[in-house]
Amino acid sequence: MLKVNHISKMYEDGTKAITDINLHIQNGDIYGFIGANGAGKSTTIKAIVGIHHFNQGEIWIDGYSIKTDPVNCKKRIAFIPDNPDLYEHLTGLQYISFIADIFEVPLTERKQSIEKYSTIFEMTSKLNNSIASYSHGMKQRIALIAALVHKPALFILDEPFVGLDPTASFELKRLMQEHAENGGAVFFSTHVLEVAQKLCNKVAIIHKGSLVKNGLMEEVAGSKSLEEIFMEVRNESKNMDIIQK
Amino acid sequence: MNQKIWILFKNDLASSIPFHQLFRSAKQGNGVKITFAALLLMGIFLLIYNTLTAKTLVSLGQTALIPAYMLSVSSIMMIFLSLLRANGTIFGSSDFEQLSTYPVSEKEIFISKLLHLYFFHLLVSLLFTIPVLLVWAPDDAASPLLILLFFITALIIPVIPICIGVIFGSLVYHLAAYFRQMKLIAVSFSLILLGMFSYFIITQSNQTSDMQNIGAFLYRQMTNIYLPSVLLQFDSADHIFHILAFIFISCLLLILLILTGSKYYRKLNLRLLALKSNNNVKQKAIKQRSIFFALWKQEINTLFSSYNYLLNSILGTVLLIFLSMALLLFGVEKLTALIPMSVSSGTITNIFPTFSAALLLISNPTTAALSMEGNKIWILKTLPIEQRRVIHAKLACTFSLHLSGFWISIIAFIIRLSPNMEQLIWAILIPLSYSAFITTFGLMLNFSNPNFSWKNDMYIVKQSPPVLISAFTGMAIVIVPLALILFQVLPLYIIYLALSILLISLAVIFYRRTCTIKLI
């Protein structure tokens, strides 16, 4: 479904943002992406969905290259950013319809999807309200409904649980599981390690732009909690820094 | 000055013009450098023009009139600017909510916003006051006391235009806030206001016809247009009290504005904020639209969602529609009677294509169309569509705007000026060529130099590099052919034919170039 092959990105001033990232997400996977603030999670995700360019490597989505065939890649993705800045002058329904138009979702199909997901995320009565009047969580839900309306094969979510209330958060987790069970794939970044441990079958930990752990949850965490693993990675890095100094 | 006001002012200024980027590396600071270069160039032109005007007044023996003339002209210009700038800076500003959380009073915020307007207006007024100091001050008649008073007046001069702009701007928003389509109504009111003000200036400047005494003529013209000019007389020490009265009135107006405006600042902004979150939207049936239509509709929605963007984008088209309607209703003779020089109907027919094209050039939302995406650019970047489609939608938005004014102008042209076939062809071809040129040029500039990290769209819409470069280019491509036509350097058909071929060829080049600039 998604292959990230040795991608690296460097900023204009020469700073390395991410180095040699390798990921392989298969159908049925729920893949957690963990790292501290500024570790390179969002940069990697933005490179995958085609927001950022990258200097080296290649990204394949369902056999299509994001570099040479971005349109076919993006058709297969539902992307939710960490801070869903949406067109505030539109209503929720107008925004979802706009996305559905771009993805050329047939009318009956989109009506069903809008009804289904707005019920799940309790947005039915608010669909005709202006997005400007929405809270952060409501924007997140509208972004989710819009992303799901075209039935994507791959969900890519950047910090999806931030701002969601417990019900919406629960529904999202349920949807992610359902999607993976139905042969789709989910790749998401999070700081909520307990959720990642419960939800994911695979996990990758990124530290200072490089992957330090990557694989099946049992292989990465073993008998420990993901939190302990994450702290070990941090402490090892700190020790290395001290030694280098 | 209160420390808090100063901090708020500096922060506001840095948000609207990122001075700090001037000293950054080439790529990061390029946009700001271009903006500064363009503004500087514009300033130098105006400075030279005003110095030449002042010297002309000297040669006409009207040296004493120079300070009053320059201050009056700069005031009129500042009234226009403040009418366009007050809303968006003080009322309906995007930083209202953030500022409300700071431990500062509404009065302090309001004063800092006034300071922001004052800073820009002072820069404009300097372009008029520097020539006065260069030409009038060295003259024997200008005593040191008068020069000192002039200097003080020059610092005070932006106050009245700012007061007028803020009062009318708040009135516009206050009235528009009663309507559901608040932004559209506000823009319509602002355009009506600007139209009325322009009409007032044109009619008042034509009321004086005594050209024998140029001094008396200019004095009457000035005072007819801008009443406070009666107090701006620097010809002798006898008028010191007039000048002092002007300074006193300006200060009094400012104090009154601060006292009343700061009370009203929160109330009006809260009302505008409530309207922004308006939930009284009619439920519409879910429809399926083509990708092009969906993107085009989104562009139109963005255009109508911002007061500054809409006002700047439709000014030329509205002016074209208004003048075309006036031409249809009143005919050529009555309209040309408003111009202070005699123009034949033949000349009007000949310059009509360039004139209507010039008005279309003012309406060019493509220069800001990409930057207006702001932090929502992720949406476009992640949509599964070729970049070409986004480009088409953005171009189509501007073309739609141009066409709405264009067809009315053509009808008025046919009915009132009875053109022959050749003239009609030019009247159609020339505005369309200009439209194709400026939209593709504006979009190419914006794609080459996008800015998605703005806080207030005023910077993007009014003073970003694409907007300034496009405005300069627009002026140049109108002035050159117009001069060639009026001075009959070449036959009309050669000028128009060459122009349309050139502009359409350039439009094709710009379009192709834009398609190659990767958004990512």
Write out pLDDT tens, residues A130-151: 898 898 889 999 999 999 999 8
How far from A86 is each of A51, A126, A188, A244, CA to CA, in Å? 16, 15, 20, 45
Quote the pLDDT of residue B195.
Answer: 84
Sequence-separated (6 or more) residues with CB below 8 Å from residue A19: A8, A209, A210
Task: Give the Cα separation of B134 and B147 in Å (integer).
Answer: 11
Quote the pLDDT of residue B330.
Answer: 85
Is the pLDDT score of B225 beyond 90?
no
Quote the pLDDT of residue B145.
Answer: 85
Quote the pLDDT of residue A108.
Answer: 92
Residue from the list B281, B288, B386 with its beta carbon closest to the beta carbon of A128: B281
With an 8 Å Cβ cutoff, are A71 and B384 in contact?
yes
Is the pLDDT score of B103 beyond 70?
yes
Burial class (CB in 10 A: 0-12, 13-18, 19+), B325: middle
Q: How far is A50 from chain B (nearest CA, A)?
A: 6
Residue B400 CB neighbours (<10 A): 14
Residues B55-81 have a mean pLDDT of 87
Residue of higher predicted confidence among B94 and B190: B190
With an 8 Å Cβ cutoff, are B276 and A130 in contact?
yes
Nearest CA in chain B to A81: B378
Quote the pLDDT of residue B399.
Answer: 94
Choose the weakest-confidence range: B140-149, B188-197, B423-432.
B140-149
A175 has a chain B CB within 8 A of its CB: no
Is the pLDDT score of B19 beyond 70?
no
Is the pLDDT score of B385 beyond 90?
yes
Q: List A residues 114-153 in contact with B (Cβ-Cβ < 8 A).
A: 114, 128-130, 132-133
Residue B23: pLDDT band with limits 50, 70, 90 = low
Residue A185: pLDDT band with limits 50, 70, 90 = very high
What is chain B's mean pLDDT, rounded?
86
Task: Give the Cα separation of B367 and A87 in Å (integer).
Answer: 20
3-state secondary structure of A78: strand
Structural contact between residues A187 and A155, judged by C-beta atoms closer than 8 angstroms: yes
Over residues B228-237, the pLDDT tens digits come to 888 888 877 6
All domains in chain A, ordered by first residue: 2-76+153-244 (3.40.50.300), 85-151 (no CATH)
Residues B476-484 have a mean pLDDT of 87
Residue A22: pLDDT band with limits 50, 70, 90 = very high
Residue A200: pLDDT band with limits 50, 70, 90 = very high
Over residues B331-344, the pLDDT tens digits come to 888 777 776 667 77
Quote the pLDDT of residue B283.
Answer: 65
Query: Tokens standing for B226?
Result: 């801008």
Q: How far is B89 from chain A (nearest CA, A)?
A: 20
The domain locations on chain B are: 3-17+63-276, 291-516
Contacts with B290 from chain A: Cβ below 8 Å: 101
Pick from A15, A74, A89, A135 the residue to mutate for testing the B interface (most B CBs within 10 Å). Answer: A89
Quote the pLDDT of residue B275.
Answer: 74
With an 8 Å Cβ cutoff, are A89 and B305 in contact?
yes
Contacts with B457 from chain A: Cβ below 8 Å: none
Residue B317: pLDDT band with limits 50, 70, 90 = very high
Is the pLDDT score of B122 beyond 80?
yes
Nearest CA in chain B to A68: B386
Q: What is the ipTM of this complex?
A: 0.91
Structural contact between residues A183 and A27, judged by C-beta atoms closer than 8 angstroms: yes
With an 8 Å Cβ cutoff, are B302 and A79 in contact?
no
Task: Give the Cα separation of B48 and A14 in Å (integer).
Answer: 45
Residue from the list A107, A110, A132 with its beta carbon closest to the beta carbon of B277: A132
Quote the pLDDT of residue B207.
Answer: 65
Quote the pLDDT of residue B267.
Answer: 86
Task: Give the Cα separation of B39 and B27 in Å (integer).
Answer: 19
Pick from B24, B25, B281, B289 the residue to mutate for testing the A interface (most A CBs within 10 Å). Answer: B281
With an 8 Å Cβ cutoff, are B379 and A114 in contact?
no
Q: How far is A196 from chain B (nearest CA, A)?
A: 25
SS (H, E, C) B396-439: HHHHHHHHHHHHHHHHHHHHHHCCCHHHHHHHHHHHHHHHHHHH
**DSSP of B156-219, one letter per residue?**
HTTHHHHHHHHHHHHHHHHHHTTSSSHHHHHHHHHHHHHHHHHHHHHHHHHS----SSHHHHHH
Task: Give the Cα separation of B71 and B224 in Å (integer).
Answer: 14
Contacts with B518 from chain A: Cβ below 8 Å: 53
Quote the pLDDT of residue A181.
Answer: 92
Residue of higher predicted confidence among A160 and A240: A160
Q: Which run of H or E residues covers position A30?
A: strand A30-35
Quote the pLDDT of residue B211.
Answer: 58
A55 has a chain B CB within 8 A of its CB: no
With an 8 Å Cβ cutoff, are A102 and B291 in contact?
yes
A15 has a chain B CB within 8 A of its CB: no
Query: Tokens standing for B322?
Result: 């208004």
Residues B385-392 have a mean pLDDT of 94
Quote the pLDDT of residue A36.
Answer: 87
A67 has a chain B CB within 8 A of its CB: no
Query: Tokens standing for B64?
Result: 């004493």
Sheet holding A2-10, edge to edge: A16-25, A2-10, A56-61, A64-65
Residue B87: pLDDT band with limits 50, 70, 90 = confident
Residue A139 CB neighbours (<10 A): 20
Quote the pLDDT of residue B33.
Answer: 76
How far from A224 is each of A201, A221, A228, CA to CA, in Å? 15, 5, 6
Quote the pLDDT of residue A16.
Answer: 86
Residue A234: pLDDT band with limits 50, 70, 90 = confident
Contacts with A86 from chain B: Cβ below 8 Å: 376, 379
Task: Give the Cα separation of B348 and B199 in Å (integer).
Answer: 20
Structural contact between residues A98 and B387, judged by C-beta atoms closer than 8 angstroms: no
Quote the pLDDT of residue A27.
Answer: 92
Task: Give the Cα separation of B68 and B132 in Å (integer).
Answer: 9
Over residues A27-52, the pLDDT tens digits come to 999 999 998 888 899 999 999 999 98
Contacts with A77 from chain B: Cβ below 8 Å: 382
Is the pLDDT score of B1 beyond 70?
no
Structural contact between residues A143 and A93, judged by C-beta atoms closer than 8 angstroms: no
Is the pLDDT score of B28 beyond 60?
no
